[in-house]
Structure formats: C-alpha cells, structure tokens
Structure 1
Amino acid sequence: MTMPKYLIQASYTHEGTKGLLKEGARGRRAAVEQVVTGLGGQVEAMYFAFGESDVVIIVDFPDPISMAAVSLTVKASGALHTRATPLLTLDEIDEAARRQVAFRPPGA
C-alpha cells in the first residue's frame, strides 16, 4: 500500500534563517528526516530554492494526521511558514474522474 504523498513548501523566518546558517543544509535535512521517519514516513526529495519558498520537500506519510501533526508543530516553532499540498497519482485522478458527483452550480 502506498502512503499519501505531500509537497511541503516553506519559507524561513528571520530566526529560522539564522538557524539554517548555523546548522547548514545537511543539518536541516537530518532534522527533517528524523521528524518524518519518526512518524513512519519517508523523505522523497528536499531542495532549497530562491523565491517565495526557501525549501521544497516531497514526503510520504502513513496518514493525513501525521502530516497535520508535523505541520502544527513546525508552525508553532515560529521558524518557518509552511504550506502542505496533498499530491495525487495519475490512477487516483482517473478514479476521481470516474466517480459520479451530484452538483448544482449556484443559481442553476
């Protein structure tokens, strides 16, 4: 069984950036690995970036509650602003497209 996959986009706050400068990228990767694997997940990829996001991570978690727990804890630290986006496979989208949905647009 495959685990749900998430795209995490994060930007460091002033204090988070100071921590990154102190620990380095490898130190942050190790910290991310420890958190994710501690909840039964796996880090697929982690990249640092320029622009709106400072870091982009793709992770697998056993369930959405694990992703929510990490998100809440990281946000509470004040070191990062994060966004987590569920990622769906081609098969999952094909299955969704086959499902019948009774929907009436507003005013119709």
Structure 2
Amino acid sequence: MPKFLIQATYTRDGAKGLLEEGASSRSAAVDQVVTGLGGTVEAMYFAFGEDDIVLILDFPDPVSMAAASLTVKASGALRTRATPLLTLDEIDEAARREVAFRAPGA
C-alpha cells in the first residue's frame, strides 16, 4: 500500500478542540477516517514547533489519501502536508527507468 507522511498544524479552533477532547479522542478520529478508507495508521505523534502532529499512514491508493486530505482540510481545524513515501526498491526501480529530458539551454 502507498505510504504517506502527514505533517499537520492545528488552527486556533482545532487547538481548542484538542484541549477539550484530548489526544486519545483525536487518535480515534484519525483511525476512523483512515480505516474507513481501507488504510492503516502506522504511527501518530504529537509534536511542538512548526508541526503539531506527525503521522505515517498507509492507504490502498493515492485517491483514498486525497479523499482523507480534502475532508480534513475542509473542516478548517488543521493545515496539512502529505508527502508520499517510497521504499528503497521503488527508488531503485525509478533510477532504472529511462527518462527523455533536455535541461533548459542545453
């Protein structure tokens, strides 16, 4: 399954909700969204600094990840970034593929 790194920052309203409901409640909400789309939560950590929460998620396909992302962003409670994660084998395969490319000015 495709794997994604999610980095998120709570908005003011999202942080208020976290303070009211607690971290366990948010973990259950994340798990419900991800498993409802056929995925799994590999890791979930709260942090401080630029990001408030960091997750590693597996989804059956990128469209499922997009569906989750759109729904969460539409809530207005979080600003998120999703980064696709690739295995070493996937990068090796990519490195073997021929790509026709001409650099600008070359």
Q: Same fold (TM over 0.5)?
A: yes
Specify every segment of 5 or more residues in structure 2 that has no aligned partner in the other structure, as ranges: none
Tell me the distance in 2 between the aligned counterparts of 1:14 and 1:68.
24
State percent identity of aligned pairs. Answer: 81
Q: Residues 55-98 of structure 1: CA distance to partner in whole angstroms, max 9, x if unpaired?
A: 00000000000000011111111000000000000000000011
SS in 1 for 2:22: helix
Q: Which runs of 4+ in 1 moved over 4 A?
A: none
**Residue identity in the other structure for 1:29:** S
Note the C-alpha offset of 1:50: 1.1
- Aligned pairs, number: 106
The residue number in structure 2 matching 1:102 is 100
The residue number in structure 2 matching 1:64 is 62
The residue number in structure 2 matching 1:42 is 40
Tell me the distance in 1 between the aligned counterparts of 2:27 and 2:52.
13
Tell me the distance in 2 between the aligned counterparts of 1:31 and 1:74.
11
Tell me the distance in 2 between the aligned counterparts of 1:35 and 1:73.
9
The residue number in structure 1 matching 2:28 is 30
Specify every segment of 5 or more residues in structure 1 that has no aligned partner in the other structure, as ranges: none
